[in-house]
Amino acid sequence: MAGLSRIRYGRAFVLLLTGAYFLVPLACAVAFSIGAGTPGRSIGFGAYTGVLGAGGFTDSLTLTLKLAAATIALVLALLVPALVTVRLAAPRLRTLVEIVCMLPLVVPAVALVAGISAVLRWGPDHFAGTPVFQALAALQDQNFPFVLVLAYTLMALPLAYRTLDAGIAAIDLRMLVEAARACRAPWPRTLLQVVLPNLRGALLNTAFLTLALVLGEYTVAAILGYQPFAVWILAISGSQAQMSVAVSVMGLLVTWVLLLVVATAGRAHHPKETS
C-alpha cells in the first residue's frame, strides 16, 4: 500500500509540474494582454475586443485558412493513395516511401526556403515568355501563393506519414479492399467509401497537425515576403504588443479546442470500426 501511495503522489507531482509548465506562461501572457501589472495602464480587454477590427487580421487569417485547406487536401491526396498502394501491392517500397517522407525532418526551414527562393529567381531568367514562366508567376500570386502550399506540404509530410501509416496499420486493409472488390466495387469507390471511413481518426489527426503547422509557420512565409497569420502577429508586435499576445493566446486556445474535438471524434468513431 505504501508503494501505491508513493506512485500516486509521484503521478500527481508530475501532473502538477507539467500543468505549471504550460499554464504559468499562459497566465503571464493573459495578464500582460489585459494590462495586469503594467505601470500606468488599467486592466481591460481591449486587446481582445479589438482583434477583429485590427488592420490585416481578416486578410491574414483568411489567407492562412485557405493555405491550410489546400495543404491538407494536397497532403492527403498524395499520401493516402501512396500508402494504400504500398500496403497492398508494393510492400518492398515501404522503406523508400518512409525515407522520402522523413527527409524534410533533416532539412531546416531556412535551407528549404533558400532553395525555393533560388529556383524562383532562376526561373524567370531562363524561361521568360514561356508557359513555365507563367506557371512560376502563378505560384507567387499574392492573393494565393501556391508556393507556400508546396513548402507546407513538404514540411507536413513526416507527421502526416506517421499518422496515416499508424491508422492504416490499425485496420485490416487487405480484407476490406478484397471484400469491396468481391462486391464489384471500382477502385475509386473502394477508396472513398470503404477505406477512408475506416481511416477517419487518422485523417482527422493528419488534418489537425497540418492545420497547426500552417497556422504557426513563420520562417518560409516571412522570407518569401508573404504575410499569413503568423507573420502578421509578429508584424503588429512592435506597435500593438498587447494585441499580438492576445491573438497568440486566442490561437493557442483555439488549437486546444480543435485538438479536443479531433480526439472526441476519433473516440466516437472507434466502436464503429471495431464492431
Between CA 64 and CA 86 the distance in angstroms is 32
156 within some domain: yes
What contacts 197, CB < 8 A, 6 or more positions away? none
The packing angle between helices 241-274 and 2-33, to 10°, is 140
Domain extent for 259: 56-274
What contacts 109, CB < 8 A, 6 or more positions away? 155, 217, 219, 220
**pLDDT confidence tier of residue 190, bands split at 50, 70 and 90:** confident
8-state DSSP, 249: H
77 within some domain: yes
Between CA 85 and CA 80 the distance in angstroms is 8
Residue 105 CA to its chain's centroid (Å) = 15
pLDDT for the residue numbered 269: 54
pLDDT in tens, 64-113: 999 999 999 999 999 999 999 998 888 888 999 999 999 988 888 888 88
Between CA 92 and CA 228 the distance in angstroms is 40
Q: How many CA atoms lie within 13 A of 265 on its CB side?
A: 17
192 within some domain: yes
pLDDT for the residue numbered 270: 53
**The three grid cell numbers given for residue 220, joined into one nine-digit string:** 518560409
- How many domains, in total, are found in the chain? 1
8-state DSSP, 39: T
Lowest mean pLDDT among 1-5, 226-230, 250-254: 1-5
42 within some domain: no
**The three grid cell numbers given for residue 222, joined into one nine-digit string:** 516571412
**pLDDT confidence tier of residue 163, bands split at 50, 70 and 90:** very high
Residue 50 CA to its chain's centroid (Å) = 27
Give the domain CATH number at 196: 1.10.3720.10
Between CA 160 and CA 213 the distance in angstroms is 11
243 close to 137: Cβ distance less than 8 angstroms: no
CB neighbours of residue 55 within 10 Å: 11
3 within some domain: no
For 40-87, the three-class secondary structure string (H helix, E strand, C coil) is CCCCCCHHHHCCCCCCCHHHHHHHHHHHHHHHHHHHHHHHHHHHHHHH
97 within some domain: yes
pLDDT for the residue numbered 148: 93
**The three grid cell numbers given for residue 224, joined into one nine-digit string:** 518569401
**pLDDT confidence tier of residue 271, bands split at 50, 70 and 90:** very low
Mean pLDDT of the chain: 83
40 within some domain: no
194 within some domain: yes
Q: How many CA atoms lie within 13 A of 180 on its CB side?
A: 18
